[in-house]
Chain A
Amino acid sequence: MATTEVLGLRARERIGRLDRIWEERPGLVGWLTTVDHKRIGILYFFTTLAFFGAGGVEALLMRTQLARPDDHVLGPSRYDQLMTMHGVTMIFLFVIPMTIGAFGNYLVPLMLGARDMAFPRLNALSYWLFLGSGCLIYASVFLNMAPDAGWFDYVPLALKRYDTGLNIDFYALGLIFNGISSTVAAINFVVTIFKLRAPGMSLNRMPLFVFAILAVSLSLIFALPALTVDCVFLELQRRLGFHFFDVGHGGSALLWQHLFWFFGHPEVYIIVLPAFGIATSIIPTFAKHRMIAFPLVAMAELLVAFIGFGVWAHHMFATGIPTATLVFFAAASMMVVIPSTIQIYAWTVTVMMGKPEFKAPLLFIGGFITFFVIGGLSGIMFAAIPFDQATTDTYFVVAHFHFIIFGAAVFPILGGMYYWFPKVSGRLYHEPVAKASFWLTFLGTALTFFPMHIVGLLGMPRRVYTYQSGLGWDAYNLSETIGAFILTAGLLLIFGNLVWSRFRGPPAGPDPFYGGTLEWATTSPPPHYNFAVIPTVTSPYPNWDRDDRAEDARKLEAGELVLEEGHETPASTVRDGYLDEVLEMPSESWWPLTLGVFVTLLFVMLLLAHFVVAGIFGALCVLALGGWHAQEPAEA
């Protein structure tokens, strides 16, 4: 659609009409009231990037403290806060909102050939709630009351008796709040994926990235309530004197762990599955070969999410629960190997079968596969119960999950930033600098996290703010700290490249890499309405079907599936993707922001224990919802 000059008069008229219908208000007001999934994706991107920066600074401060034995850059209580905030930030405020909120929001409707998400205003709401929860959690840092009992916040340490300030209340209320945002976002994604696929996109033709987002969204919907209930129990106990976790009054400390990890292990796959999805987007493009075993990979993505619900107690092998239980969870944990291995083979064999062009995004996927295999192998080791009991709470565990969470989850995010940068910005990034940034990041990651395996086996416990000299840990710790700074340099080079390219990069055109999915079938950046003609899909790689895309241009002239008479997008049947109806979509609105502010104030008042005022804000939320739903779509 970039080549407007070759279009006929009627086609240009139709595009003009679409532009007028879908355009949003300019300036700040436009951003505050937007319901455009691309703008919401960009808001998510920059917000999560800010939290990534904060979490990174926390990590650097910790590594600086641990560079030498008996150091005192940070005191123990400050260290505990930074360690907890690092975990909470990277998981809840960076990886999930970055993959679901930023990548998912921007890309899923484009890959599906839709004009927006199923619930555009709900989408805006999930962003404002995310921003509110992130600000609430980070307010604690500035008040020197940051959560300090670790990201998994075990009781009894997290109970009022041992943690008297508001620290843990920030954690519990912040995560309940954050969970609302993630839940509404996940519901929105599932409905979008089920209902708004382009005509002809049956489930077996859906991009694998979308399968991954589907798996993650379902995991979020079914896992988050356990965390919410757990945090509600904790707040009821801390604030109102309920007894859930103290043995003296019939409670149980392990109850916290069961509920937490029932959420917490699916959470691990929630973090890593979008990375699988990004890998399955980048590999076919640069290998110039469709993903082999396409249906198996799709099933494996869903299977990983499903098995993730049956393995939570492997985080609790050292708590003294019965051996029969341990064996069940150990076996379930080993099962995860099967779908993971299917995917690893599919990725590597696709690269081997094609003619790979090792541009920066594919390099990052290579790094991802390397780290995922290493982290996966140490993961299998934990499924062996005696090994787990020996290494629990040591740096070996820290090494394992950073290989997964940083190596396997963040590397594809970085590769994905390069890969979709031309689509979002309309410009190409600088390839040689991008390659250099990959090697720097790769080296930094390996140097930071690999020695943690060794110090872990040498007995260094995790979550300590300092250690004695003479235990053989000093050199490893120093190299980890040096690695962390190299890694930071690599990350800064990536962002520097993207910022420079945003202003100085050469124009990218609609499809610089010849990608197979539909986001490459429109201009870069895409127009507000995404596609002038709703594309019709006949294969899993619709942008490689040149005849179909040529047909789109003819349809634009003829006015088929242009829908230029209203703010509309088509809906399809759930399984087969037959065109089913045309939906009138909501336009920009103040209600999501209004409701987001009320919910934020509700949580602030709960935190300050002003329950009556909190009730008033609760009532205002209900009224805002009434106002929101008073705006009905025009009847077709």
Chain B
Amino acid sequence: MSEHALPRRAPRPKPLAHPNGWWGMALFLGSEAVLFGALLATYYYLRFKAVHWPPLGTPEPKVVLPLVLTAILVTTSVPMQLALRAAQEGRLAATRLLLAVALAVQATYFGLQIHLFLGDLAKFSPGDHAYESIYFTLVGAHHTHVAVGLLLDVWLLLRLSTGLTRYRLTGLWATTFFWHFVNGLAVLVVLTQVSPAL
């Protein structure tokens, strides 16, 4: 497109507002926030009605490992944000590298968490008591979100292998937003999860 045609089609070289994809993600995350709000509210609703939490005979939740893992997961917000900035400045190689670093850490976190989850399932079952039911549902919902984030990362890396477009930049922008949200939520979920043992 020639330079003088710009004002007729778009008044500025760079739009002022966030892209539609970012807004779509923002609203989707609003819905997700209520979803987790309902899960967390259920946890405390059931807990405050219970005499023993966890019920007698159920081991207290592990504390140190989940907290350490969550702390590591939260740090991946940094490479995600840097990847977004690199992409906005058109630095493709840096974008891919930073995204790959984030993906590696997030995937390790996910693997270890699934290991812990299966370990818990071997010790107590969601069919035992309301405590186990909400424990596994809450933690499982969080892990599902991490898994979705991993899929988004992999998809972005695949798309970025053939270059950077505005569409892919918006995708990265939305995915970064998603990860910031999941990481923030991870803190609330893990604090709730370990709270009976504190």
Chain A residues with CB below 8 A from B168, complex form: 632
A residues whose Cβ falls under 8 Å from a Cβ of B: 118-119, 122, 183, 186-188, 190-191, 194-195, 221-226, 228-230, 232-233, 236-237, 240-244, 249-252, 255, 258-259, 262, 559-561, 563, 571-574, 578-583, 622, 626, 629, 632-633, 635-636
Contact A187 B24 (CB under 8 A): yes
In the complex, chain A residues whose CB is within 8 Å of the CB of B49? 250, 252
The residues of A that contact B31 with a CB separation of less than 8 Å are: 183, 187, 221-222, 224-225
**Which of B6-14, B78-86, B116-124 lies at the binding interface?**
B6-14
Q: Given A191-B27, A580-B10, A582-B10: A259 and B17 within 8 A (CB)? A: no
A-B contact sample (11 more), CB < 8 A, given A222-B34, A262-B38, A578-B16: A118-B24, A122-B24, A222-B31, A225-B34, A229-B39, A251-B133, A572-B17, A574-B17, A580-B11, A580-B16, A635-B166
Q: Which residues of A contact B198 (CB under 8 A)?
A: none
**B27 and A255 contacting across the interface, CB-CB below 8 Å:** no
Question: Is there contact, CB below 8 Å, between A119 and B20?
Answer: yes
**Contact indicator B126/A242 (Cβ below 8 Å):** yes
Q: Which of B93-135 contact A (CB under 8 A)?
A: 126-134
Per the bound structure, the CA–CA distance linking A262 and B9 in Å amounts to 45
Give, as a whole number of angstroms, the nearest-CB distance from A231 to chain B. Answer: 11
Pair A195/B20 contact, Cβ less than 8 Å: yes
Task: Looking at the assembled complex, report how far the CB atom of B2 sits from the nearest CB atom of chain A, in whole angstroms.
Answer: 12
| Nearest opposing residue in chain A for B133, CB measure | A242
Q: Report the bound CA distance from A225 to B11 in whole Å.
A: 39
The 8 A CB mask of B13-40 against A (1 = contact, 0 = none) is 0011100100110011011101101110
Given A236-B137, A563-B9, residue A259 in contact with residue B155 (CB < 8 A): no
With contacts A259-B38, A262-B38 taken as known, whether A252 is within 8 angstroms of B30 at the C-beta atoms is no
B46 interface residue (CB < 8 Å to A): yes
Q: Which B residues have a C-beta under 8 Å from some C-beta of A?
A: 1, 8-12, 15-17, 20, 23-24, 27-28, 30-32, 34-35, 37-39, 42, 45-46, 49-50, 55, 126-134, 137, 151, 155, 159, 165-168, 171
- Please state if A187 and B9 are interface contacts (CB–CB under 8 Å): no
Contact check, B130 vs A251: say whether CB atoms are below 8 A apart. Answer: yes
The answer to whether A255 and B46 touch (CB under 8 A), given A240-B126, A249-B129, A580-B15, is yes
Interface contact A635-B165, CB-CB below 8 Å: yes
Q: A236-B137, A242-B126 are in contact. Are A571 and B42 (CB under 8 A)?
A: no
**B151 proximity list for chain A (CB < 8 A):** 622
- Chain B residues with CB under 8 Å of A258's CB are 45
Please, how many angstroms separate the alpha-carbon atoms of A629 and B45 in the complex? 41
Complex CA gap A190/B22 in Å reads 12
Most A CB within 10 A of own CB, among B12, B20, B37, B128 = B20
Residues of A within 8 A of B166 (CB): 635
B42:A580 contact, CB within 8 angstroms: no
Per the bound structure, the CA–CA distance linking A224 and B137 in Å amounts to 18
